[in-house]
Amino acid sequence: MSCVIVVGTQWGDEGKGKVVDLLTQHADVVVRFQGGNNAGHTLVVGKDRFILHLIPSGILHPEKVCLIGNGVVVDLEVLHKEITALRERGLQVGPGNLGLSEKAHLILPYHRHLDIARETAKGAASLGTTGRGIGPCYEDKVARNGLRVIDLMDEEVFKHKVETNLKEKNFLFEHFLKVSPLNPRDILDTYRPLADFIRPYVTNVSLRIDQAFQEKKKVLFEGAQGTHLDIDHGTYPYVTSSNPLAGSVCTGAGLGPLKIKSVLGITKAYTTRVGGGPFPTELFDELGEALREKGGEYGATTGRPRRCGWLDAVVLKDSVRLNSLSHLAVTKLDVLTGFKTLKICTGYTWQGRVFDHVPAQLQVLENCQPLYEEWEGWSESLRGIHKKEDLPPQTQNYLKRIEALAQVPIGIISVGPERDETLHLSNPFAV
């Protein structure tokens, strides 16, 4: 039995999808354990480009089993479209290789309606959410008003809960947010065929994972977003509504912590962020624009331009501590080609105080100034390089410094979007 968790070390969009796709060749089962369709994983296979929002990235390998855990909040309209689109492109997607937890909570139309109405009402103070209903769904889950996949399997139970929840939601829509109410009949009519469609996929994911462990199979866990969007440990309130940390695998998929053997943290060779919130190393000049354009830094889910900046080792070191990272995967290293000088943030200053960790107080973090080291850049293309020793000396020095600051070895280096543009220095399943 072997178990590997893949997590993001920044604010999401680190390239987890590509890494999971590559590691799937070593795995038997791939499990998504938190988040919703506010996350998008982009996979490039030859001339084909796939963007997945809910289905684990391992689905491109038809012989593998992919599972969506109970910690994921699921918009069934999105999942239906995703399954259908993959099938239309010739991929094998069915109950034989895809399972959905019966305990996963459902994102319903009133969650999306509430999400958008709240953001609109906040105006300039909005958090920059995707408007996908993720937060409101997690709210209902914690308030014990949520609807789970298993509820959808009984039409009368589903009908009763939708009608009950809408009484409260519609009052909020009409009298506080001043938007139109929703008709429960419309929701029921939409979800009746979705229930029939999804029924064959519904399963007990925790039991499936335990069975895989008993059979000595290799299980790969895939997180969404990144460490610093964690609802507890991120840059609150500019965070997601779940826990993207490695530890939440236990609750989000249903296994005990002693099963965890290895945690791989994905970090871009620079840093990006989508939406609002503090970002100490953000670049507002032509260098930031160059990173955005060279890296194609636009959201896979929303298309929004990502904010770009230099690599933040303070953020990275916090992620190492919070996730117990055993290895790093450095992605988009090729994007830095052509920059004469590179910078790495090693600390923050604020009113004469130096921070080697991310301060919790938002007002402090927003006014922190980064402390930078400068490193010589390189002009040689990294595309087509397959050995670490063939990288330019300046590139190798940059990577060595990342390892030294994080105190974690680099196991994977991505030098391009294609599958074969990856340097595999170690196999996390062998740890």
pLDDT in tens, 279-314: 999 999 999 999 999 999 987 666 789 999 999 999
Contact 121, 202 (CB under 8 A): no
Domain shared by 217 and 233, yes or no: yes
Domain shared by 278 and 421, yes or no: yes
pLDDT for residue 140 is more than 90 = yes
Domain count, the chain: 3
Q: What is the mean pLDDT of the chain?
A: 93
Domain shared by 271 and 189, yes or no: no
Domain shared by 182 and 57, yes or no: no
CATH of the domain at 119: 1.10.300.10
* pTM strictly above 0.85: yes
CATH of the domain at 238: 3.40.440.10
Domain shared by 236 and 280, yes or no: no
**Average pLDDT for residues 239-254, to the nearest whole number?**
96
Domain shared by 375 and 273, yes or no: yes
41 in catalytic set: yes
Structural domain span for residue 135: 105-198
Predicted confidence band at 1 (pLDDT cuts at 50, 70, 90)?
A: low
Q: For 186-240, write each residue's pLDDT tens digit.
A: 999 999 999 999 999 999 999 999 999 999 999 999 988 999 999 999 999 999 9
Give percent of the chain above pLDDT 70: 96
Q: For 76-125, write each residue's pLDDT tens digit.
A: 999 999 999 999 998 999 999 999 999 999 999 999 999 999 888 877 66
Domain shared by 286 and 382, yes or no: yes
Predicted confidence band at 425 (pLDDT cuts at 50, 70, 90)?
A: confident
Look at residue 129 in the predicted model and tell me its pLDDT.
Answer: 72
Domain shared by 218 and 74, yes or no: yes
Helices (H), 7-153: 16-23, 76-88, 109-122, 134-142, 149-152
Q: Which of 41, 111, 113, 228 is catalytic?
A: 41
Q: Which of 13, 140, 151, 312 is catalytic?
A: 13
* Residues pairing with 282 in the sheet: 309
Give percent of the chain above pLDDT 90: 81
Residue with tokens 């340097």: 423
Question: Whose CA is closest to 108, among 34, 183, 31?
Answer: 183
CB atoms within 10 A of CB 199: 13
Domain shared by 244 and 392, yes or no: no
